[in-house]
Amino acid sequence: MKIFICVIFLISFGFFGNCSAQKQQQGDGKTDAAVPQKISTEEAKTIMDGDKPFILVDVRTEDEYKMIRITGAVLIPVNEIASRAEKELPDRNAVLLLYCRSGVRSAGAALTLAGMGYTNVYDMGGIVSWPHETVSDYN
């Protein structure tokens, strides 16, 4: 029973199947809403070091954000993403890189944004896997 529940959970977060940030094409030629793409921290770092604009979004709590965060990240907690995205992320075609602590909240936030019509949503997982520079309010 536990395995069944875990599989349902994973399916609902899009861990199985095609999870690209592109619109998926149905057999009849119509497209579904965009879905987020899971990327590695190294793929995220490549985007961040590139020339194209992006928005780095930390979906953790304010306390977690103050303790440690990736340089340049904006804070929009996962429980506020739906209510704040339209105002704080007005360009639905912007490249959005999302992270949390371990990857669970960022996956949920990425699905929420994709469901709202954001087309370039990338879930880079958790800060615990981030091997690069970070900042803290407590240094």
Inside any domain, residue 12: no
Give me the helix-helix angle, 81-88 and 104-115, nearest 10°. 60
Inside any domain, residue 86: yes
Tell me the pLDDT of the chain (139 aa) as tens digits.
Answer: 444 444 344 444 444 333 344 444 444 444 456 889 999 999 999 999 999 999 999 999 999 999 999 999 999 999 999 999 999 999 999 999 999 999 999 999 999 999 999 999 999 999 999 999 999 999 7
Inside any domain, residue 3: no
CATH code, domain carrying 53: 3.40.250.10
Inside any domain, residue 9: no
For the chain, give the number of residues: 139
Burial class (CB in 10 A: 0-12, 13-18, 19+), 64: middle
d(CA 42, CA 45): 5
The domain containing residue 50 runs over which residues? 18-135
Domain count for the chain, please give it. 1
The model carries a pTM of 0.78
CA distances to 1, 13, 24, 101 from 73, in Å: 39, 23, 29, 13
